[in-house]
Structure 1
Amino acid sequence: MGRTAAAGRSSRGPRLARLRTGHGQPGGPRVLREAAGPPGVQRAARSRRAGGRLPRCPGTPARRGRRALPMSSAAHPLFLLGARGLLAGEFLRLLDGHPCLRLAGAYARSAEGALGQSHPHLAGALAATPLEEASALADALKTTAQAGGPAPVLLLALPHGASAPWWAEHRAALQAACPALVVVDLSADFRLESAEAYQASYALQHPCPDEFGQWIYGLPELHPVPEGSKRIAVPGCFATAMQLAVVPMARAAQIEATEPIIVHGVTGSSGSGAQAKAGTHHPHRAMNFHAYGLQGHRHEAELLSPRNALPQGCALDFTPHSAPLSRGIHLHAVMQASAQADEQPQAVLETFCADKPFLEAVRQAPQLRHIAGSQRVQLHAYRRGRLLHVLVALDNTIKGGAGQALQALNLALGLPETTALPSHGLGY
Structure 2
Amino acid sequence: MKVGVLGATGYAGQELVRLLYRHEEVDKHLYLSSSSIAGEDYEAVYPHWRDQNVGILQDENVPDLDVLFCALPHGLTAERTSAFLARKMKVIDLGADFRLNSAEVYEEWYKIKHPATELLKEAVYGLPELYREQIRGQSLIANPGCYPTATLLALVPLLRQKLLQTRNLIIDAKSGVSGAGRGVSLGAHYAEVNENFKAYGVASHRHTPEIEQELSRAAGQPLFVNFTPHLVPMTRGMLVTIYATLQEGVDEGDLLRCWQEQYEQEPFIHILPKGTWPQTKFCSGSNHAFLQLTVDQRTGNAIIIATIDNLMKGAAGQAVQNMNLVMGWPEGQGLQGTALWP
TM superposition shift of 1:77: 0.2
Q: Could you tell me whether the CA contact under 8 Å between 1:83 and 1:106 is conserved in 2?
A: yes
| Cα separation, 2, equivalents of 1:132 and 1:255 | 49
Matching residue of 2:129: 221
TM superposition shift of 1:340: 3.3
Q: Could you tell me whether the CA contact under 8 Å between 1:373 and 1:422 is conserved in 2?
A: no
Matching residue of 2:218: 309
| Cα separation, 2, equivalents of 1:320 and 1:245 | 16
- Written as runs of structure 1 = structure 2, the 5 A alignment for 1:269-418 is 269-305=177-213, 308-310=217-219, 312-344=221-253, 345-363=255-273, 364-385=276-297, 386-418=300-332
Equivalent position to 1:93, from 15, 18, 27: 18
Residues 1:255 and 2:164 are matched in the alignment: yes
| Cα separation, 1, equivalents of 2:85 and 2:191 | 47
SS in 2 for 1:382: strand
Matching residue of 1:73: none
Q: Could you tell me whether the CA contact under 8 Å between 2:94 and 2:142 is conserved in 1?
A: yes
Q: Could you tell me whether the CA contact under 8 Å between 1:256 and 1:311 is conserved in 2?
A: no
SS in 2 for 1:356: coil
Runs (5+) with no aligned partner, structure 1? 1-75, 145-151
Q: Which has the higher contact order (CA 8 A, sep 6+)?
A: 1
Residues 1:80 and 2:5 are matched in the alignment: yes
Matching residue of 1:111: 38
SS in 2 for 1:321: strand
Equivalent position to 2:57, from 114, 131, 136: 131
Q: Could you tell me whether the CA contact under 8 Å between 2:162 and 2:219 is conserved in 1?
A: no
TM superposition shift of 1:308: 2.7
Q: Could you tell me whether the CA contact under 8 Å between 2:164 and 2:244 is conserved in 1?
A: yes
SS in 2 for 1:274: coil
For each residue in 1:146-166, what CA deviation from the matched residue of structure 2 results, as whole angstroms up to 9, or x when unmatched? xxxxxx111111111211123
SS in 2 for 1:113: coil
For each residue in 1:272-318, what CA deviation from the matched residue of structure 2 results, as whole angstroms up to 9, or x when unmatched? 11123111111111111111111221111122115733253532001
Q: Could you tell me whether the CA contact under 8 Å between 1:260 and 1:314 is conserved in 2?
A: no
Equivalent position to 1:163, from 77, 90, 105: 77
After TM superposition, the score normalised by the length of structure 1 is: 0.75
Q: Considering only CA atoms, is the larger Rg found in Structure 1 or Structure 2?
A: 1
TM superposition shift of 1:215: 0.9
Q: Could you tell me whether the CA contact under 8 Å between 1:304 and 1:310 is conserved in 2?
A: no
Count, aligned residues: 333
| Cα separation, 2, equivalents of 1:252 and 1:423 | 32
Q: Could you tell me whether the CA contact under 8 Å between 2:165 and 2:247 is conserved in 1?
A: yes
> Identity of paired residues, percent?
32
- Written as runs of structure 1 = structure 2, the 5 A alignment for 1:4-19 is none
| Cα separation, 2, equivalents of 1:400 and 1:126 | 27
Q: Could you tell me whether the CA contact under 8 Å between 1:327 and 1:396 is conserved in 2?
A: yes
| Cα separation, 2, equivalents of 1:202 and 1:340 | 41
The answer to which of 215-224 and 295-304 deviates more is 295-304
TM superposition shift of 1:112: 3.1
Amino acid at match of 2:73: P
Q: Structure 1 188/371 Cα, relative in aligned 2: closer, same or farther at 3 Å?
A: same
Q: Could you tell me whether the CA contact under 8 Å between 1:93 and 1:122 is conserved in 2?
A: no
For each residue in 1:161-181, what CA deviation from the matched residue of structure 2 results, as whole angstroms up to 9, or x when unmatched? 2111233xxx24x444x23x1
Amino acid at match of 1:336: T
Runs (5+) with no aligned partner, structure 2? none
| Cα separation, 1, equivalents of 2:41 and 2:225 | 44
Q: Structure 1 336/309 Cα, relative in aligned 2: closer, same or farther at 3 Å?
A: same
| Cα separation, 1, equivalents of 2:337 and 2:306 | 16
Amino acid at match of 1:104: L
| Cα separation, 1, equivalents of 2:250 and 2:135 | 32
Question: Considering only aligned residues, what root-mean-square deviation do their CA atoms show, in Å?
Answer: 1.6
Matching residue of 1:231: 140
